[in-house]
Structure 1
Amino acid sequence: MANAYRQIKETAISLGYEFERQGKGDHEIWKHPHSGKSQVIPRSSKRGKQAMRNIVASLKRSAKPE
């Protein structure tokens, strides 16, 4: 689970997301330049596996142009 953030970050980069800014607490804001949508990615590894899967699924949905 320690590598969950790294895997999510790599997925975000591969989908074209760019780091926008540090959010509140342990969160980061990433933005997709083409869709214009932002995603919040937690840096904490305390999230469960299902939460991490949901974040990756949300990244994939938001990367698609409307």
Structure 2
Amino acid sequence: MTKLIQETFEQIAQLSEEQQNALAIYLQKHLALILQQAEREKRIEEENYTLNDFNEETQQAIINIE
């Protein structure tokens, strides 16, 4: 993985500053979403979840069962 990261940074270094900034914004946004999803999955796995941790379809199914 270290080699892959190094290669990725080398490719990023070849981008213009504007492109690097756009990439950084994109990565920040999507990394935050990935981390949120991982936290939801962890709570569900540990059975320490709330209804909001499920998608809308699953939420409705749970409500219908209750």
Give the number of the structure whose residues are more often strand, by fraction: 1
TM range (shorter): 0.3 to 0.5
Determine which structure has greater relative contact order: mean sequence separation of CA pairs < 8 Å that are 6+ residues apart, divided by chain length: 1
Per the normalisation by structure 1, the TM-score is: 0.33
Per the normalisation by structure 2, the TM-score is: 0.33
Pick the structure with greater CA Rg.
2
